[in-house]
Amino acid sequence: MPLWIVASVFAAFMQNLRFLLQRHLKVTTLSTGGATWARFAFAVPFVALALILYRGVSGQAMPGIGPGYWAFVVTGALAQMCATACVVALFARRNFYVGITLKKSEVILTAFVGLVVLGEAVSLPVLVAIAIGFAGVLALSDPPKEDGLPWTKRVFNAASGYGLASGLLFGVSAVCYRGATLALEGGDAPLRACVALLTATLVQSLSLGLWLALREPGQIGKVFAAWRVALPMGLTSMLGSTGWFIAFALQTAAYVKAVGQVELVFTFLFSAFWLKEKTSRNEVIGIALVVVSLAMILWAGLGA
């Protein structure tokens, strides 16, 4: 099996663990900004250590900075930071796996952004599969019916808005991160992934940390006080992000995100067996459509 598929599945699994920990911080201790910053701040030392160790083992020199690198990495970092904040805010409105599923609009949006920014198109069978997955996302955007609540408010709601916003922003970050890894000159895919990831994580930690210091005094202290949860979240964040960056260095961002839909299976298992959350009929239909989409994508032979 190609490395980029293995890296995508691994990244999806680790990302699911990270969101689970981040959800815990959001609903128990921190603000949306604090829970978002914790994900980046506690990942920095792990990313730096991974880069040092991999360079030492592989014996490679640091890659050179090519044209467009900084524009790609900074734009991607800021877009991911805002997208993560949208997902954290979403956790307070829908149950865990529905929140993660709503953000999966990023798959089809990544395909669009990748075509516009990098000129990377996807095949027709894959585009159809992505559309089916997006239909599943739309099915999940309708919360359980409430007596007297108009259908417009059930479909066009804050949860849907956060989900679609995070999807677009994650799509932008994915394409920009692929652009950043391609803009690095020299080194293999894992090395370029680690360099781009460390740069992006530093940008996120510094910029959001400054914002918190100015707008939410005391929140940074609360983040460090929650280190028992934030530390493993930083580790899972590093592992998941490294997987994504390696996959982006090897394959088109839309294909990577399409395979990354396997995260929904992991999320459902955590939701059902760990969080003991119940599901509605619409949610089951939506998940089924996403699973069919993933099967079609793999059947289309993306690993060929």
Burial 160-181 (b: 16+ CB within 10 A, else e): bbbbbbbbbbbbbbbbbbbbbb
Tokens standing for 119? 């000129």
Q: 117-173, pLDDT tens digit by residue?
A: 888 888 888 888 888 877 876 676 555 555 455 555 555 566 667 777 888 899 999
Nearest in space to 22 (alpha carbons), one of 85, 107, 71: 85
Model pTM score = 0.83
| Model confidence pLDDT, tens digit, residues 205-238 | 999 999 999 999 899 999 999 999 999 999 999 9
55-111 residue pLDDT tens: 999 999 999 999 999 999 999 999 998 988 887 777 666 555 566 666 777 888 888
SS3 48: helix
Q: Where are the chain's structural domains?
A: 3-299
DSSP class of residue 144 equals P
Distance CA 241, CA 102 (A): 20
d(CA 290, CA 130): 9
Nearest of 154, 105, 110 to residue 247 by alpha carbon: 110
- CA nearest 42: which of 245, 232, 240? 232
Task: Using only the alpha carbons of the chain, give its radius of gyration.
Answer: 19
